[in-house]
Amino acid sequence: MDTRDLESQREDFYRRIEPSHLAPLWTRLKSLVPAQPMPVGVAHRWRYADVRPLLLESADHISAREAERRVLILENPGLRGTSQITSTLFAGLQLIMPGEVAPAHRHTQSALRFIIEGSGAHTTVDGEKVIMEPGDFVITPAWRWHEHGNESGGPMVWLDGLDIPLLMHFNSTFREDDAARKPPESQYDGLIHFPYERARETLFALARSGAPDSHLGHVLRYQDPKRGGWAMPTIASMIRILPKGFATRPYRSSDSMVFAAVEGRGTLEVGGTKFDLAPHDVAVVPGWMPYTLQASEDWVVFSFSDRSAQEKLGFFRDERL
């Protein structure tokens, strides 16, 4: 049989199996199982100076109570309409004004908060109150009742990170609202509040004590002190300091990274683009794209990714270039 006949007989075969909801794997195998990660989304930076006035304006349009959560979603420009910053994570900037309450609810998605601006507002987790200060890292574990309130005199802004797209893949999302509130079945026994004061002290002590890792800088991982390992089951969070003048060697990992600049200034370089990052700017780097961080001042950077889930499932990879 010549190849034209072979090809047309194959095409005919594919058409005949289609009504039985069957398809050939061999035409799709290499796209289903690529040799390495295909980029999902694009690298992007949100300047806080641009976003802040819009976030504050959102308070003219809706209250925290009516919105339930007054959040502007940081949507990856390569993933429009998905509410995703990466293929597995949601990120947004949440605003709560003085006197406002964001009512209690619980969901199977886990949330992290990294405090950007303001001082003294609170979040509660199963009734345990956490007062939030800039640079603090706060966790709302899955299925824990949580609400936010602002009894301070000024607006309070934080970066939210949730594993929403990840749970969407598992189709295991549940939510209950305040009206259905019951006493919690158990008490969460992990750490939920990591104050910046302690992280900052440790970072600057590290920076004084020796040379930074060539690809990462001086890194602290937020850990669960009881069980060890990452503080959250799905999301891995870190904070690092890059001494003034230091530049990392190119590095890539299979987890797409969300960065939030904290103090000082520097540049994230990814895919030939340089993103200067001022304090409170947020950036995203798709998985497996090599990137570098260059510090023009002593530079503190917070980051989170789905690495905690990838490690547990056994497919996390990284490469030092």
The residues binding ligand 1HN (CB under 6 A) are 69, 71, 90, 92, 94, 111, 146, 160, 162, 164
Tell me 247's DSSP state: B
- CA distances 135 to 98, 138, 305, Å, are 19, 10, 18
Tell me the C-alpha distance between 72 and 20, whole Å.
44
Structure-token match 């001082």, residue found: 119
* Residue 125 one-letter amino acid: V
Closest to 109 in 3D by CA, of 84, 155, 141, 135: 141
- CA distances 264 to 280, 314, 320, Å, are 10, 35, 25
Structure-token match 């199977």, residue found: 108
What's the min distance (Å) between Cβ of 35 and ligand 1HN? 34
Give 152 or 253: the residue with its C-beta nearer to ligand 1HN.
152
Give 232 or 295: the residue with its C-beta nearer to ligand 1HN.
232
* Residue 283 one-letter amino acid: A
Tell me 38's DSSP state: P
Give 111 or 203: the residue with its C-beta nearer to ligand 1HN.
111
What's the min distance (Å) between Cβ of 92 and ligand 1HN? 6
What's the min distance (Å) between Cβ of 300 and ligand 1HN? 24
Give 96 or 300: the residue with its C-beta nearer to ligand 1HN.
96
Tell me the C-alpha distance between 124 and 67, whole Å.
18
Contact 303, 260 (CB under 8 A): yes
Give 71 or 142: the residue with its C-beta nearer to ligand 1HN.
71
Give 111 or 239: the residue with its C-beta nearer to ligand 1HN.
111
What's the min distance (Å) between Cβ of 111 and ligand 1HN? 5
What's the min distance (Å) between Cβ of 62 and ligand 1HN? 14
